[in-house]
Amino acid sequence: MLPKKYRLKHKKDIERVIKEGRYFYGPIFWFKIIRNSETFCRLALIVPKKSYKKAVIRNRLKRVFTSIVEQKVRKMPNFDIVVYFKNQKVLPPRTELQKEADKIILAVH
């Protein structure tokens, strides 16, 4: 689980990143990044109910993705990152999520 310090949780912060951030996309999700005034990186995950109907699936996707990027987020420079999962009917495999997560790391560094 990602510690609260590394979570982007306020609506106004998430909206600021979506409005002003640099846009990157992939087959599973798109993400936006923007520099923040903190000394650490913060992350927000958005999984739409329209794509994944069951809360169990949405929560699993968040847990798996968070476990993949948890250690990496702690080492990233001061960025705010919003990850928005695209409309897909099946849960993507962990290997694909890992590959896509590496794109975030490359974009930040």
- Which residue shows structure tokens 């640099």? 22
The CATH number covering residue 57 comes to: 3.30.230.10
Identify the domain containing residue 87 by its residue range: 4-108
What's the rounded Cα separation, in Å, for the pair 98 and 101? 5
pLDDT tens, position by position, 48-81? 998 888 999 999 999 999 999 888 888 888 899 9
As a whole number of angstroms, the distance between CA 96 and CA 19 comes to 27
What pTM value is reported for the model?
0.88
> Quick check: 47 pLDDT over 80?
yes
Total structural domains in the chain? Answer: 1
Of 74, 79, 66, 69, the residue nearest 22 (C-alpha)? 79
Other Cβ atoms within 10 Å of 75 Cβ, number? 11
